[in-house]
Structures are given as C-alpha cells and as structure tokens.
Chains A and B, each alone.
Chain A
Amino acid sequence: MSVLKREVVPIQTSNDVVLARQKVRQWAVELRFTLVDQTKLVTAASELARNALDHGKGGTMAVEAIVNGARSGLRMIFEDRGPGIADIDQALKDGFTTGGGMGLGLGGSKRLVNDFSIESEVGKGTRITAVRWR
C-alpha cells in the first residue's frame, strides 16, 4: 500500500468543518469516485470532522490518495488531543452520544466507508481512520 498524495488541514472552527468537506469533495472528484461514493465520503468527513471539533476539542484531518495493488482509494485520518473515547464499542453503536441530542455515534460514519478504525486513549486523544476504495 502506498500513499500517492497527502494533505493535512486544521479543524479548529465550525468553518473548518465546511472547508474539510470541500477538501474531501475536491479530492473525491479528482480520484473519480461516483457521485454516490463522493457524497458518502464527504458526509463521513463532515461527521468525523465535527466529532473531532466538538468531542475532541479540535484537531486535524489528513487526506491521502492511496493505492493498494490494483485498487485506488481515499483515506481520511482525523486526529485530536481531546479526552479520548473510553468505550469504543459503545461509541460505534447507533443512538449513542455524549453531547445532548439525537446522537448517531460513529457507527453511521463507519457505514459510509469501506475501512474504518478508531484508536483512542482516555486523556490523550483519538485517531479515526476511514477509507473508501474506488
């Protein structure tokens, strides 16, 4: 697996979430994903970026164009130095939220991509990787 291109953007304000969406859209179009796949990627990016901002107190998003054998894909890595997630399994269940309101948890975002992984340590931070293959 190799990384062909990589860019990192900050996620510190709610406007950054919009910029993150636009960045992912741009890359998805360039990598020639179908419209539905583009929409899934951008929506996942929006969810995860917002998560990094609201729950993780701000962080970064890295977008990468990756290649694995014959497959090409887009990888997004969201990192924050927030409080971390104590129970990852719980966080992935639908309906779970630590903030008020109708939380969907991270399970929704997981369904929008092909590969999804969470690394988190309470008190240290969280790192979520999401990949969609073409």
Chain B
Amino acid sequence: MDNLAEIISQNETRLRSEWIRTMSSAVERADLISKAELDEQCASILQAIAEGVKAGGAGSISGAGWTTARELLSSISASRARQGFSPSDVATFVLSLKQPLFIVIRENLGREQDRLFETIWSATKLLDSLALFTTDAYIATREELIVRQQQELLELSTPVVKLWDGILALPIIGTLDSARTQVVMESLLQTVVATNSKFAIIDITGVPTVDTLVAQHLLKTITAARLMGAECIISGVRPQIAQTIVHLGINLEDVVTKAKLADAFALALQRSGRAVVRTTAGPTSALAGLLKKQED
C-alpha cells in the first residue's frame, strides 16, 4: 500500500482543494465554519491519513500508526457536534474525499487494471472506516450533551419550598424514577439541614402513577430523612393512587399520608406545637350584612 500513501502525499494540494470543492456542494455550512478553518482541517487530515497508510497500512485504522488520524477526526467531529452539524454532514465530510482520491488514483494506475482495482478498493474501505469512526465520535459527543442537559433539567424540576419555620414542602411533578429520586433526596436533605426543618411534606399530586417502584423510591427518601431526624408527610394522594397502593399491597404503615397539602401542612404545624389563630373578626356573609343593614 505504499502506493496509496505516495499518491496522497504527492497530490496533497490538489486533493485538498478538490475535496473541499466536492464537500461544499454537498454540505454548504459556511455559516458554521470558515473557509480557512476548513482548509486547515483538511490539510491535517490528509497528512494524517498519508502517515497512517504508510505506518499502519490501509487495512485497519485501530493501530498505533493511525492514532493521530483518529484523534484528529475525534476532535473535529466533537466540535462539529457542538457547532450543530448533523451526523450525515460529518460523514459526508469524510466520504467526499473519495471522488478526488479515486480520480488521482486512476491517473496514477490507469494502465494497471489489477493494481488500480486493489488500490481503489483499499481506499474505499479505508475512507468508509474513517467515516464510520467519525460518526461514532460525533454520536458520543451528542450523548454527553444530552446527559448533561438531562441532569440540569432534573435539578430544575424539583424545588424545595419552605412553608414555615421548620416545615418544608417538596412538590414532585412528573414520574419519579431512580435518577430523579437521587436528585430529590439530595436536594431535600440538604435543605433540611440548611433550614433545620423537622418536617418535609412531599406532595405527589403531580406524579401520574405510583407503582411498586415509585413507592420504593418514595420510601427511600422518607427513610433517609428519618435517619437524619426529619419526618416526611406524603400529601396529594389521589383516589386512584390510593387504590393502586392497596391493590399492589404496598406497605405504607409507617408513613403519614394526607389527601391534601393543606391537611399535611396543618398536621405539621400541630406536630411542631403551633396553631393558626384568627386575630380579627371574620368577613360577614352577604346575608348577615343585609340583615345588619335592615336592623340599623
């Protein structure tokens, strides 16, 4: 395969400009990457490919000789992912090198049919592996981004609210899976410590279904709070949820549950030795007001 390496090195400038020309017509994203930057990237890749073929052969790109090319393609692919190119943009980027390369190979080996075929075959396999590798790297970067965004979303969607001195409320909206539970637990327990709150009301009005798994997650949170010295009250238990809990045989014996958040709050106030007292006379009803007017 010295031929391929030589062919690439000797025709580098031409290959590069043809490659960019072919690429641009297929993938025109001048808004995302400048011509100069593109030119530089292509030059480095061509050089790395030539080196790779020379050092490691064109059979496989996993050897040490191909490390530079792999690292280069990985980082270019990652930046493409972050810049907003699509996966096929990235694959086309590599694959559009085929046409210029084949043309140059034919010019060099046109007379020797067998060698021509062999070289073109190796070149096409090589570029296919490189394109696949580049696409994999792109996908890995995208997944990393998604995971990070999911994390941020999780954290945003579980606020802990201080209802009163020593009483917290934690409204849960949406499904409670194990990842969410971790975030909920951490958030709740940290707030318990920070506010020295003995009571935490976990409102599940916004939780669509409570099956055995969700119940387990809730129980974990309640147990952890208890270990720290805080008590949890579950509120917002809808009639269907109550039925499901009983049908599934979920044991919530040690847990205080209330249908409404208001009831849970009243309980927490009472348990912490407080009462709500009316300090002014209440508003009179319209009828009572009328009657009073008549009397006057």
Contacts and interface: CB of A to CB of B under 8 A. Distances in A.
Nearest to B186: A36
A99 interface: no
Interface string A93-105: 0000000000000
Interface in A82-119: none
A36 B184 CA distance: 13
A69 B186 contact: no
**Interface SS majority for chain A:** loop
B40 interface: no
B140 A70 contact: yes
Interface residues of B, number: 5
A106 B182 CA distance: 21
Contacts of A70: 140-141, 144
Interface string B122-163: 000000000000000000110010000000000000000000
Interface residues of A, number: 3
A72 to B, nearest CB: 12
Nearest to A35: B186
A44 to B, nearest CB: 16
B187 to A, nearest CB: 11
B271 to A, nearest CB: 29
B109 to A, nearest CB: 39
Contacts of B141: 70
Contacts of A36: 182, 186
Interface in B186-217: 186
A34 to B, nearest CB: 8
A36 B190 CA distance: 11
A69 B136 CA distance: 11
A70 B143 CA distance: 10
A70 B142 CA distance: 11
Contacts of A69: 140
Contacts of B182: 36
A8 to B, nearest CB: 28
Interface string A57-87: 0000000000001100000000000000000
Nearest to B144: A70
A70 B146 CA distance: 13
Contacts of B144: 70
Interface string B173-187: 000000000100010
A81 B171 CA distance: 51
B270 to A, nearest CB: 33
Nearest to B143: A70
A99 B173 CA distance: 45
A101 B57 CA distance: 63
A70 B137 CA distance: 10
A70 B140 CA distance: 8
Interface string A2-28: 000000000000000000000000000
B288 to A, nearest CB: 58
Interface of A: 36, 69-70
Interface of B: 140-141, 144, 182, 186
5 contacts: A36-B186, A69-B140, A70-B140, A70-B141, A70-B144
Q: Closest 4 CB pairs between A and B? A: A70-B144, A70-B140, A36-B186, A69-B140
